[in-house]
Protein backbone atom coordinates (compact mmCIF):
# COMPACT_ATOMS: atom_id res chain seq x y z
CA UNK A 1 0.00 0.00 0.00
CA UNK A 2 1.07 3.55 -0.62
CA UNK A 3 -0.49 6.83 0.40
CA UNK A 4 0.55 10.15 -1.09
CA UNK A 5 -1.22 13.43 -0.27
CA UNK A 6 -4.56 11.71 0.27
CA UNK A 7 -4.08 9.35 -2.68
CA UNK A 8 -4.00 5.67 -1.77
CA UNK A 9 -3.22 2.57 -3.84
CA UNK A 10 -3.37 -1.04 -2.74
CA UNK A 11 -2.48 -4.09 -4.83
CA UNK A 12 -2.96 -7.71 -3.93
CA UNK A 13 -4.26 -11.08 -5.03
CA UNK A 14 -7.98 -11.66 -5.01
CA UNK A 15 -9.79 -15.00 -5.09
CA UNK A 16 -12.17 -14.15 -7.93
CA UNK A 17 -12.77 -15.35 -11.47
CA UNK A 18 -12.26 -12.53 -13.98
CA UNK A 19 -12.97 -12.57 -17.72
CA UNK A 20 -12.49 -10.09 -20.53
CA UNK A 21 -14.81 -10.64 -23.49
CA UNK A 22 -15.28 -8.47 -26.59
CA UNK A 23 -18.01 -9.18 -29.14
CA UNK A 24 -18.41 -12.69 -27.78
CA UNK A 25 -14.71 -13.50 -28.03
CA UNK A 26 -12.86 -14.48 -24.85
CA UNK A 27 -9.70 -12.36 -24.59
CA UNK A 28 -8.64 -13.29 -21.07
CA UNK A 29 -9.72 -15.43 -18.16
CA UNK A 30 -8.06 -15.70 -14.78
CA UNK A 31 -8.64 -17.17 -11.34
CA UNK A 32 -5.55 -15.37 -10.03
CA UNK A 33 -5.89 -11.68 -10.77
CA UNK A 34 -4.32 -8.89 -8.80
CA UNK A 35 -6.79 -6.25 -7.69
CA UNK A 36 -5.69 -2.64 -7.67
CA UNK A 37 -7.71 -0.18 -5.62
CA UNK A 38 -6.89 3.48 -6.12
CA UNK A 39 -8.45 6.60 -4.65
CA UNK A 40 -11.00 8.06 -7.06
CA UNK A 41 -10.75 5.21 -9.59
CA UNK A 42 -12.77 2.06 -10.24
CA UNK A 43 -11.38 -1.24 -8.96
CA UNK A 44 -9.13 -2.72 -11.65
CA UNK A 45 -8.10 -6.34 -12.16
CA UNK A 46 -4.61 -7.03 -13.49
CA UNK A 47 -4.33 -10.44 -15.14
CA UNK A 48 -1.15 -12.50 -15.52
CA UNK A 49 0.08 -12.61 -19.13
CA UNK A 50 -0.37 -16.40 -19.22
CA UNK A 51 -4.13 -15.85 -18.79
CA UNK A 52 -4.44 -13.38 -21.69
CA UNK A 53 -4.91 -14.22 -25.38
CA UNK A 54 -2.02 -12.05 -26.54
CA UNK A 55 -2.24 -13.81 -29.92
CA UNK A 56 -5.43 -11.79 -30.51
CA UNK A 57 -3.97 -8.45 -29.37
CA UNK A 58 -1.50 -6.12 -31.05
CA UNK A 59 0.84 -3.75 -29.21
CA UNK A 60 -0.15 -0.12 -29.73
CA UNK A 61 2.05 2.95 -30.03
CA UNK A 62 0.04 4.61 -27.24
CA UNK A 63 1.86 5.37 -24.01
CA UNK A 64 0.54 7.17 -20.94
CA UNK A 65 2.07 8.25 -17.67
CA UNK A 66 0.53 7.97 -14.20
CA UNK A 67 2.42 9.75 -11.41
CA UNK A 68 1.41 6.94 -9.03
CA UNK A 69 1.98 3.86 -11.19
CA UNK A 70 4.42 4.85 -13.94
CA UNK A 71 4.39 4.47 -17.73
CA UNK A 72 1.73 2.29 -19.33
CA UNK A 73 1.77 0.73 -22.78
CA UNK A 74 -1.37 -0.39 -24.60
CA UNK A 75 -2.64 -3.30 -26.69
CA UNK A 76 -5.46 -3.29 -29.23
CA UNK A 77 -7.80 -5.40 -31.31
CA UNK A 78 -8.34 -4.52 -34.98
CA UNK A 79 -11.67 -2.87 -34.08
CA UNK A 80 -10.82 -1.67 -30.57
CA UNK A 81 -7.81 0.58 -30.07
CA UNK A 82 -6.04 0.62 -26.72
CA UNK A 83 -8.39 -1.90 -25.13
CA UNK A 84 -5.91 -3.05 -22.49
CA UNK A 85 -2.86 -1.62 -20.76
CA UNK A 86 0.27 -2.94 -19.11
CA UNK A 87 2.89 -1.40 -16.81
CA UNK A 88 6.19 -2.95 -18.00
CA UNK A 89 8.19 -1.02 -15.39
CA UNK A 90 5.76 0.17 -12.69
CA UNK A 91 6.75 2.24 -9.70
CA UNK A 92 8.10 0.26 -6.78
CA UNK A 93 4.96 0.36 -4.61
CA UNK A 94 2.87 -1.25 -7.39
CA UNK A 95 5.61 -3.56 -8.71
CA UNK A 96 3.30 -6.58 -8.41
CA UNK A 97 1.36 -5.46 -11.53
CA UNK A 98 4.46 -5.60 -13.73
CA UNK A 99 3.54 -7.07 -17.13
CA UNK A 100 -0.03 -7.88 -16.00
CA UNK A 101 -2.84 -6.90 -18.38
CA UNK A 102 -5.70 -4.64 -17.32
CA UNK A 103 -8.81 -4.44 -19.50
CA UNK A 104 -11.20 -1.50 -19.49
CA UNK A 105 -14.10 -3.95 -19.53
CA UNK A 106 -13.47 -7.01 -17.35
CA UNK A 107 -16.17 -8.87 -15.51
CA UNK A 108 -16.05 -10.76 -12.24
CA UNK A 109 -17.75 -14.12 -12.73
CA UNK A 110 -19.55 -15.89 -9.90
CA UNK A 111 -18.34 -19.49 -9.82
pLDDT one-digit tens code per residue, 4-43: 677 899 999 999 999 999 999 999 999 999 999 999 999 9
Asked whether the beta carbons of 62 and 73 are under 8 A apart, the reply is yes
Q: What residues contact residue 75 under an 8 Å CB cut-off, 6+ apart?
A: 54, 57, 58, 59, 60, 82, 83, 84, 85, 86, 101
Q: How far apart are alpha carbons 2 and 83 in whole angstroms?
A: 27
pLDDT tens sequence across 45-103: 999 999 999 999 999 999 999 999 999 999 999 999 999 999 999 999 999 999 999 99
Q: Residue 106: what pLDDT?
A: 81
> pLDDT band at residue 1, thresholds of 50, 70 and 90?
low
Task: Give the domain extent around 86.
Answer: 2-109
pLDDT for the residue 51: 97
CA 7 to chain centroid: 19
In the three-class reduction of DSSP (H, G, I as helix; E, B as strand; rest coil), residue 82 is classed as strand
* Residue 105 confidence (pLDDT): 83
CATH number reported for the structural domain that contains residue 39 in this entry: 2.170.150.40
What's the pLDDT score for residue 55? 97
pTM here is 0.92
CA 14 – CA 108 distance, rounded (Å): 11
What pLDDT does residue 6 have? 77
Whole-number pLDDT of residue 109: 81
Total domains, the chain: 1
Q: What is the pLDDT at residue 80?
A: 93
The answer to whether 49 touches 28, Cβ cutoff 8 Å, is no
**Cα 5 from Cα 46, distance rounded (Å):** 25
Amino acid sequence: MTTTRGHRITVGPEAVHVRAVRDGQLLAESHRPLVLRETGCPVRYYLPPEDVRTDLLTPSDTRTYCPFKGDASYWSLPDAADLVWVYPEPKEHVAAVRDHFCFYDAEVVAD
